[in-house]
A and B are shown apart, each in its own frame.
Chain A
Amino acid sequence: MSTTHQPSPLAKLEQKTVHEIIVKGKRIDERGPLDYRPLTITLGSVEKANGSAQVELGKTRILAGVKIQTGTPFEDTPNEGILTVNAEFTPLAYPTFETGPPDEDSIELARVVDRGIRESKAIDLEKLCIEPGKKVFVVFVDIYVLDHDGNLIDAAGMAALGALVSATMQEFEVKGGELRFKESKVAVPMRNYPVPMTSVKIGTSVVVDPCLEEEQVMSCRLTVTTDKNDNVCAMQKGGLGVFTPEEIKQIVSSSIQQSRELREKILSKVK
């Protein structure tokens, strides 16, 4: 059952400080309200994966790996490959992350990242069909949270995108229903590049890319995932607070603007 979280472990005094600084239009790490933290992306560090990307967003660190295997298609999409996104909040990343089955936060994160990739039709899944109704490629995107300093959704979304655009697979051909692999490698067929952008509301202020302290005092957050054509392809509100419709509209517009730069940054790494 989904249960109210225990209050944040952040000391009351520290919470008050974070809050007061935000109200003054500043931030605890001296960024402006719409400034993103420095972003580093390293591609291909895991050679055994078809694709991998490590994203460092401030001190948040996430590794995403892509594995491609064969499997059976879903009945309602017999000509399409399958996308599966999973997230692990590893116990290395944060004192209260525990081992065991995924909790609702990691499920939510994986599903928000999944929606961005799926709804923007980022992967051309029809090109991953081997034999309609019988055999297709399954693209597993596994997200590993290594260090948690806030805004896991954005870091995970960008790591997943980085891993996918850099992923390669054995070139294949299908002859008489038989799958045969060739020597050469090809890129995973990608046609769109979704980027999530999360803003949080603290008091009446809205700031992007919350660090951990900001996340712990936020009233709520809104993630807006946009694609390469400036369309919104996924959104998710989280947290116990509420947004006014005007705040939402503002966040959507600025997220569309800002995500262009991040998308460029990720894609420039691949070329």
Chain B
Amino acid sequence: MGNKEQVRLIDKNGLRVDGRRLDELRPVKLEVGVLDKADGSAYIEHGRNKILAAVFGPREAHPKHIALADRAVVRCRYHMAPFSTDERKSPAPSRRELELSKVIREALEPSIMSEYFPRSSIDIFIEVLQADAGTRCAGVTSASLALADAGIPLRELVAACAAGKIDGQVVLDLSDIEDKKGDADLPVAFMPKSNAVGLLQMDGSMTDSELKQALDMSINACRTIYEMQKDALRRKYHVEREEETEEIAEVKA
């Protein structure tokens, strides 16, 4: 974690800089099917993070030599827009973005039934429009929805959220300043029904017991986000089904 001038991140009432309790998520807004040409897409606002995810495929793998005989290859690009950060970020992919593309793919791939689509590719694009700590997790959450929106068979949705440590206390979902001035960050992606962690990283300094507490906290938050994901899918697809029923009703009448 970054350099520390002593800043108090938790006040005497046990509230954080943005007024949250220790185990409180930032506001999360999810929307499915936001792009016209992508096969599936989703938009997430998680605190001040604003992220778009799009999925293309299953489609013919290109170049051909990447194709696998027994399942689809999954490709993933996590990218930050140049204007998404305080200082302009060069649009060329950084080492950080390359690493995150890999860990995000490894979080999503276990959920995808890629064995149904041999020789094809499923391409996931995550574009961070505004970054405010926790972009990899918000990226996973939105990309999993985009996969569902593309109609790709999934074992389960993947939800992600970080926990961490600030002012010596374990807290949920670090904001930008907490990430920079805090003691540790632990991003986790989780599939609740399978009880499976697909993404796990950590940096900073935590004891054995703090780490376990933080892991439980982030997994709990993933369960909450998982419900929000299901809601977001229902909002999109429930409406369409209603229209259909109306049409049928009209025909019958």
Stretch at the interface among B12-20, B34-42, B68-76: B68-76
Tell me the residues in window 230-251 of chain A with beta carbons closer than 8 Å to chain B beta carbons. Answer: 230-245, 248-249
Residue from B3, B66, B211, B219 in contact with A232 in the complex, judged by beta carbons closer than 8 Å: B211
A186 within 8 A of B: no
Q: Is the CB of A233 within 8 A of B205?
A: yes
Residue of A nearest to B78 (CB): A2
Q: Could you list 20 further interchain pairs (A-B, Cβ under 8 angstroms) beyond the known A119-B205, A245-B216? A: A3-B105, A4-B72, A4-B73, A6-B68, A80-B3, A108-B102, A115-B203, A118-B203, A119-B1, A230-B207, A233-B205, A235-B186, A235-B200, A237-B103, A237-B106, A239-B106, A240-B109, A242-B191, A245-B195, A248-B215
Alpha-carbon distance between A176 and B206 when the two chains are bound, in angstroms: 41
Chain A 172-201 per-residue mask, 1 if CB under 8 angstroms from chain B, else 0 = 000000000000000000000000000000
B57 within 8 A of A: no
Tell me the residues in window 206-248 of chain A with beta carbons closer than 8 Å to chain B beta carbons. Answer: 220, 222, 227, 230-245, 248
Residue of B nearest to A240 (CB): B109
Residue of B nearest to A233 (CB): B205
- A111 touching B95 in the complex, CB below 8 Å, given contacts A4-B109, A119-B1: yes
Chain A 1-45 per-residue mask, 1 if CB under 8 angstroms from chain B, else 0 = 111101100000000000000000000000000000000000000
- A252 touching B207 in the complex, CB below 8 Å, given contacts A238-B106, A242-B110, A243-B200: no
Q: Return chain A residues, CB-CB under 8 Å to B198.
A: 237, 242
Q: Return chain A residues, CB-CB under 8 Å to B114.
A: 4
Chain B interface mostly: mixed
Tell me the residues in window 191-245 of chain B with beta carbons closer than 8 Å to chain A beta carbons. Answer: 191, 194-208, 211-212, 215-216, 219
Residue from B2, B76, B95, B212 in contact with A107 in the complex, judged by beta carbons closer than 8 Å: B95
Alpha-carbon distance between A241 and B191 when the two chains are bound, in angstroms: 12
- A244 touching B74 in the complex, CB below 8 Å, given contacts A111-B96, A231-B207, A233-B205: no
A253 within 8 A of B: yes
B60 within 8 A of A: no
Q: Closest CB of chain A to B68's CB: distance in Å?
A: 7
Q: Return chain B residues, CB-CB under 8 Å to A220.
A: 106
Contact-residue bracket for chain B: 35 or more
Q: Closest CB of chain A to B180's CB: distance in Å?
A: 9
Q: Closest CB of chain A to B223's CB: distance in Å?
A: 12
Q: Is the CB of B110 within 8 A of A241?
A: yes
Residue from B95, B191, B204, B208 in contact with A230 in the complex, judged by beta carbons closer than 8 Å: B208
Q: Chain A interface (Cβ within 8 Å of chain B)?
A: 1-4, 6-7, 76-77, 80, 104, 107-108, 110-111, 115, 118-120, 220, 222, 227, 230-245, 248-249, 252-253, 256
Alpha-carbon distance between A76 and B207 when the two chains are bound, in angstroms: 28
Residue of A nearest to B207 (CB): A231
Q: Return chain A residues, CB-CB under 8 Å to B104.
A: 2
Q: Return chain B residues, CB-CB under 8 Å to A234.
A: 202-203
Q: Is the CB of A1 within 8 A of B201?
A: no
Q: Is the CB of B98 within 8 A of A104?
A: yes
B247 within 8 A of A: no
- A2 touching B76 in the complex, CB below 8 Å, given contacts A104-B98, A237-B103, A242-B194: yes
Q: Closest CB of chain B to A197's CB: distance in Å?
A: 13
Residue from B96, B200, B207 in contact with A237 in the complex, judged by beta carbons closer than 8 Å: B200
Alpha-carbon distance between A77 and B102 when the two chains are bound, in angstroms: 29
Q: Is the CB of A3 within 8 A of B66?
A: yes
Give 21 A-B contacts (CB < 8 Å), ordered by A residue: A1-B75, A2-B104, A76-B2, A107-B98, A108-B102, A108-B103, A119-B203, A232-B205, A232-B207, A235-B200, A237-B106, A237-B198, A237-B199, A238-B102, A242-B191, A242-B194, A242-B197, A244-B196, A245-B197, A245-B219, A252-B212
Q: Is the CB of B204 within 8 A of A253?
A: no
Residue of B nearest to A236 (CB): B201
Q: Return chain A residues, CB-CB under 8 Å to B204.
A: 119, 233
Q: Is the CB of B109 within 8 A of A233?
A: no
